[in-house]
Structure 1
Amino acid sequence: MADPSDRDGQFQWTKQWYPVAVVEFLDPDRPHAIQVIGIDMVLWRDGSGAWRCFEDVCPHRLAPLSEERVEADGTLLCAYHAWRFNGEGQCVSLPQSKDAATEATHCANPKARAMVYATQERQGLLWVWAEAGAAAELESQQRDPRLIPELDDTSGHSVKAFWNIRDLPYGWDFFMENVADPAHVPVSHHGLVGDRYQDAKYYDMPRLREISTQEGFAFAVTPTAPTIQRTSHDFQPPCLMRIETTFSDGGSLLLILYATPTRPGWCRHIGRQVLLKNAAGKTPPGLAFFALPMPTWLGHVLASLFLHQDLVFLHHQERRLAKRQGRWLEQVYTPNPQDKMVITFRQWLENRAGGGIPWSEHYLEPIAGGNHRALFDVWGTHTQHCHTCQRALKRITWLITGVWGGALFALFLAVFLDARFYTLTTAHQAQASLWQMPPLSVLLLLGVAVLLGISGYWLKQLRQLFYVYEFHHADND
């Protein structure tokens, strides 16, 4: 396997670009709290339309800037004492000052500045450099993020699905370990991608690119189906796993899997799939049904069906390893070639990247208390951060109210139109008349009421996916 010696320096975790948000999903009228390697940050859009990233701390009294306001003039206002900051972090208003001259003096003091992290928008994502300061700004300009060339293709040769983003309750290393392990896919994702009883097969993983501290490594997967020509997994630190499957007819499926380490026990996943057509213009199959045309919000809420299938394994696997307090390679048994890339990833992390992420000392504690349902939280991990899904949730709630209101109205109208409604109140109505066929208009209204009631029920089930989606393998027959 990999040579444990470090030939090209230790990996520098803070001198990297990390994807932290999908720009179109951000609400530009409010600040957004994020974390990168344990550093509390805030994203906000200034008056020029540029997204900025500050440390999530007001220099005055250390209030979180993510709880503050983006004002109409494009400044970030701390709602604790009304200090204002421009996009460069300069304090431009300090209203409690004695007079204008004193205010100008206070604003010019370096201690009044917010700490700024470099940002850039590329391929629909907002990227943040994990070091602040003038020197970090210059370093950030000398390195590009881990971009995907196929996303810049405008020839019509590709079909680009929606971006998905989710905070996951397990660490960055366990995310990368998981996506370096194609053997788990038909087993953990039984029913969506493959069959645990038919598709758990032997295959080899030959190395495509030798291990590098800065550039990662790549492996191939020997084909397990006649329709597949080749599959490759390409790890590009710190955040990208690029998985490409080329089919026998020449088309390809590209899975773009980003993960940003946020805090211990958590990571932020941003993913997308791209379908590359073959020479005849045929589009290849995508991952399950997620490449089908659908509204973005629907793709987001349905992503739980996939992400939650292996979530429990990874969450508890991480905690069990932490309890044992030993080297990963000493705690596991990996006899098959399907584990080659997982082993190489763990060796890269141990020998070339300091053994793990150098967390900031200022981070929030991961989920605690053994709350199993909290692991499947969708609201806190996605919906509350996604402006697109919040709009869709409001519309669905309005629709549920309208549908159930329509059902009740149709039912009331059916009863009102049925002449027997009146005759049943009289003591002289013949018993036989109680069993007469209702008028056609009444039957139609009753049918409408039933259909609207059923629609309301399923809309309510859909709305629940914006909040929580629990998954249990014992129920996945």
Structure 2
Amino acid sequence: MTTDTRFASDVESTSPIDQATTEAANDPFQWTQQWYPVAVVETLDPSRPHALKVLGKAMVIWRDAQQQWQCFEDACPHRLAPLSEGRVEADGTLLCAYHAWRFDGSGRCIGMPQSKDKAVEATNCSRPQACAIAYPTQERQGLLWVWPESGEQGLSNSQGRSPRLIPELETPSERVVKLFWNQRDLPYGWDYFMENVADPAHVPVAHHGIMGSRYTDASYYDMPRLREVSTQEGFAFGVTTPSSPSASASHDFQPPCLMKISTTFANGGQLILVLYATPTQPGWCRHIGCQILVKNEAGKTPPGLGFFALPMPQWFGHILASLFLHQDLVFLHYQERTLGQRGRDRWLNEVYTPNPQDKMIITFRQWLEYRAGGSVAWDESCDPTLPPAEYDKDKLFDVWSTHTQHCHYCQTALKRIDRLTAIAIVVAIGLLVAGLMVDARAMAVHVALESSEASLWVAPPLAFWGLMGGAGVMAIAAVLLRKFRQLFYVYRFEHADND
């Protein structure tokens, strides 16, 4: 086995790797015995079930009669039809829309209408084979968390571990300002997401125009280790930038789902980026994130992440997130596929990382290889084959299926925009017709009052121009609204056009 010795004092080399192997053997990282954030609760429509995947396993989440969100395997025990295609009934049960079997929040079957009579139905429903497979869930800090291990063992194990929560959100404080949660399914793997957010060097380059300049801000910095590597608890690195002595930053990786990036400013204020990622299926992950602004003792709010920290409706922030997420999406999607096509096992042997900015990325890849089995432990029902690269940019930059269809806020906003567009078109047509009628009436009056030898043309009255101008404004508004609504479906981005 070859070992990587780059930055031997900061990343694991021969001796630390041997130690990591021993630690992993004694206390291995268990992918299924973890809490994963799967949804922002307030954006979910509680009137219907929602399909999702965790570790490649198909699941469905839905809200029961006690207003609690539940998670089942997305397969009815009868004939394995997807429960996500079913209905949440008025009594708070989940109905399979294939044969109308019904389930309560625990997964117990409480209705089987094809049974001969009520006694037979009760007997059939009481059998373990009739139960849906349920997974532990909990709601914390506005997120729905799922433990992807079922049965009594899963319930017992889940009670002994807490989700990767944010301490600043646990205790209410006037100094802590949490901005909205955002959720997005991304067409690259969980490991590439974590690698990306462990890499501050890409920010002013890939996010040119939003988070700095690729020409002036791509500069040297160091990344000293702040917390030693642990199989279960991850690690942390700082960012030391000679050009920005007024702020200090840290990147804290807490497996399996959290990268917490904290920037502390000279006046005591702090910006915290909470970046969660859940491995959903090969080549995909679900990202949930937010900004937290911690005021200093004088009550001054620190700057946030570009214009995304400005006050705005939640749905508007969700849609604008494409401007940021799609700037590095294309890199991560294709580099993952490029490495997959090479068919080689070790990431560290395929890349060249000579600068200290790559310390945390190397450490993350070594943590994954030596402490977490080398890759995500996909469910046995999941084909681990990486999907091919997507070269249709409209599909690669899809927003509808990766966000809008899962977000109640954005669907509501889209309906309102469509309604406003229709109103603008109707008003534009009405003003146009009214203007033409005013002009025709003025012409008729002119002809009636003048002799036959007078000119038949007269300048339209002022009211005509007012109505025509209003019609033009409404028509432009309709066009702009139709262009804006495309952000709910597709947002294409090309770095070559980003000057």
TM-score bracket, normalised by the shorter chain, equals: over 0.9
**TM-align CA RMSD:** 1.9
Aligned equivalents of 2:322, 2:444: Cα separation in 1: 51
Aligned equivalent of 1:80, options 85, 98, 118: 98
Aligned CA distance change for structure 1 residues 421 and 228 (closer, same or farther; 3 Å): farther
Q: What does 1:293-332 align with in structure 2 at a 5 Å threshold?
A: 293-326=311-344, 327-332=346-351
Superposed displacement of residue 80, structure 1: 0.7
Superposed displacement of residue 281, structure 1: 1.1
Aligned equivalent of 1:462, options 481, 484, 493: 484
Match of 2:72 in 1: 54
Match of 1:344 in 2: 363
Give secondary structure in 2 for the equivalent of 1:465.
Answer: helix
Aligned equivalents of 1:168, 1:429: Cα separation in 2: 74
Give secondary structure in 1 for the equivalent of 2:214.
Answer: coil
Q: What does 1:144-183 align with in structure 2 at a 5 Å threshold?
A: 144-183=162-201
Match of 1:444 in 2: 466
Give secondary structure in 1 for the equivalent of 2:38.
Answer: strand
Superposed displacement of residue 423, structure 1: 7.3
Superposed displacement of residue 253, structure 1: 0.7
Give secondary structure in 1 for the equivalent of 2:317.
Answer: helix
Aligned CA distance change for structure 1 residues 432 and 199 (closer, same or farther; 3 Å): farther
Match of 1:94 in 2: 112
Query: Does the Cα contact within 8 Å between 2:54 and 2:279 map onto a contact in 1?
Result: yes
Aligned equivalent of 1:389, options 397, 410, 414: 410
Aligned CA distance change for structure 1 residues 425 and 95 (closer, same or farther; 3 Å): farther
Q: Is 2:235 the counterpart of 1:213?
A: no
Structure 2: gaps (5+ residues): 1-10
Query: Does the Cα contact within 8 Å between 1:226 and 1:248 map onto a contact in 2?
Result: no
Match of 2:354 in 1: 335
Superposed displacement of residue 228, structure 1: 3.6
Query: Does the Cα contact within 8 Å between 2:237 and 2:252 map onto a contact in 1?
Result: yes
Aligned equivalents of 1:388, 1:20: Cα separation in 2: 17
Aligned equivalent of 1:404, options 425, 436, 452: 425
Cα deviation code 1:292-336 (max 9, x no counterpart): 111111111111000000111000100111111221000000000
Q: What does 1:208-247 align with in structure 2 at a 5 Å threshold?
A: 208-226=226-244, 228-247=246-265
Aligned CA distance change for structure 1 residues 249 and 102 (closer, same or farther; 3 Å): same
Aligned equivalents of 2:399, 2:305: Cα separation in 1: 21
Identity of aligned residues (%): 63
Structure 1: gaps (5+ residues): none
Aligned equivalents of 2:416, 2:205: Cα separation in 1: 36
The alignment of Structure 1 onto Structure 2 pairs a total of residues equal to 475
> 87-96 or 418-427, which moves further after superposition?
418-427
Aligned CA distance change for structure 1 residues 93 and 440 (closer, same or farther; 3 Å): same
Q: Is 2:159 the counterpart of 1:137?
A: no
Aligned equivalents of 2:66, 2:32: Cα separation in 1: 27
Aligned equivalent of 1:250, options 246, 253, 268: 268
Superposed displacement of residue 358, structure 1: 1.2
> 343-352 or 93-102, which moves further after superposition?
93-102
Match of 2:496 in 1: 474
> 403-412 or 221-230, which moves further after superposition?
221-230
State TM-score, norm by structure 2.
Answer: 0.92
Aligned equivalents of 1:258, 1:227: Cα separation in 2: 28
Superposed displacement of residue 248, structure 1: 1.6
Aligned CA distance change for structure 1 residues 220 and 439 (closer, same or farther; 3 Å): same
Paired AA for residue 331 in structure 1: E
Aligned equivalents of 2:214, 2:121: Cα separation in 1: 68
Q: What does 1:265-304 align with in structure 2 at a 5 Å threshold?
A: 265-304=283-322
Give secondary structure in 1 for the equivalent of 2:61.
Answer: strand
Superposed displacement of residue 280, structure 1: 1.6
Q: Is 2:434 the counterpart of 1:413?
A: yes
Aligned equivalents of 1:362, 1:374: Cα separation in 2: 26
Aligned CA distance change for structure 1 residues 137 and 441 (closer, same or farther; 3 Å): same
Aligned equivalents of 1:301, 1:267: Cα separation in 2: 19
Aligned CA distance change for structure 1 residues 422 and 149 (closer, same or farther; 3 Å): farther
Paired AA for residue 356 in structure 2: P
Cα deviation code 1:42-83 (max 9, x no counterpart): 000011111000000100000000000111111111111111
Paired AA for residue 65 in structure 1: L
Superposed displacement of residue 153, structure 1: 4.0
Aligned equivalents of 2:370, 2:447: Cα separation in 1: 87
Cα deviation code 1:193-240 (max 9, x no counterpart): 110001000000000001000000000001354474200000000000
Paired AA for residue 461 in structure 1: K
Query: Does the Cα contact within 8 Å between 1:47 and 1:73 map onto a contact in 2?
Result: yes
Query: Does the Cα contact within 8 Å between 2:136 and 2:150 map onto a contact in 1?
Result: yes
> 421-430 or 30-39, which moves further after superposition?
421-430
Paired AA for residue 354 in structure 1: G
Query: Does the Cα contact within 8 Å between 2:280 and 2:286 map onto a contact in 1?
Result: yes
Give secondary structure in 2 for the equivalent of 1:35.
Answer: strand
Superposed displacement of residue 461, structure 1: 1.5
Cα deviation code 1:246-291 (max 9, x no counterpart): 1122111100000000000000000000111112211111111111
Query: Does the Cα contact within 8 Å between 1:37 and 1:360 map onto a contact in 2?
Result: yes
Aligned equivalent of 1:373, options 394, 399, 408: 394
Give secondary structure in 2 for the equivalent of 1:304.
Answer: helix
State TM-score, norm by structure 1.
Answer: 0.96
Aligned equivalents of 1:433, 1:278: Cα separation in 2: 72
> 406-415 or 441-450, which moves further after superposition?
441-450
Superposed displacement of residue 430, structure 1: 5.0
Aligned equivalents of 2:443, 2:259: Cα separation in 1: 67
Give secondary structure in 2 for the equivalent of 1:195.
Answer: coil
Query: Does the Cα contact within 8 Å between 2:443 and 2:457 map onto a contact in 1?
Result: no
Superposed displacement of residue 439, structure 1: 2.9
Match of 2:374 in 1: 355
Superposed displacement of residue 440, structure 1: 2.9
Superposed displacement of residue 27, structure 1: 0.6
Give secondary structure in 1 for the equivalent of 2:149.
Answer: strand
Aligned equivalents of 2:142, 2:162: Cα separation in 1: 15
Query: Does the Cα contact within 8 Å between 1:251 and 1:278 map onto a contact in 2?
Result: yes
Superposed displacement of residue 362, structure 1: 2.2
Superposed displacement of residue 152, structure 1: 2.9
Query: Does the Cα contact within 8 Å between 1:223 and 1:231 map onto a contact in 2?
Result: no
Superposed displacement of residue 130, structure 1: 1.2
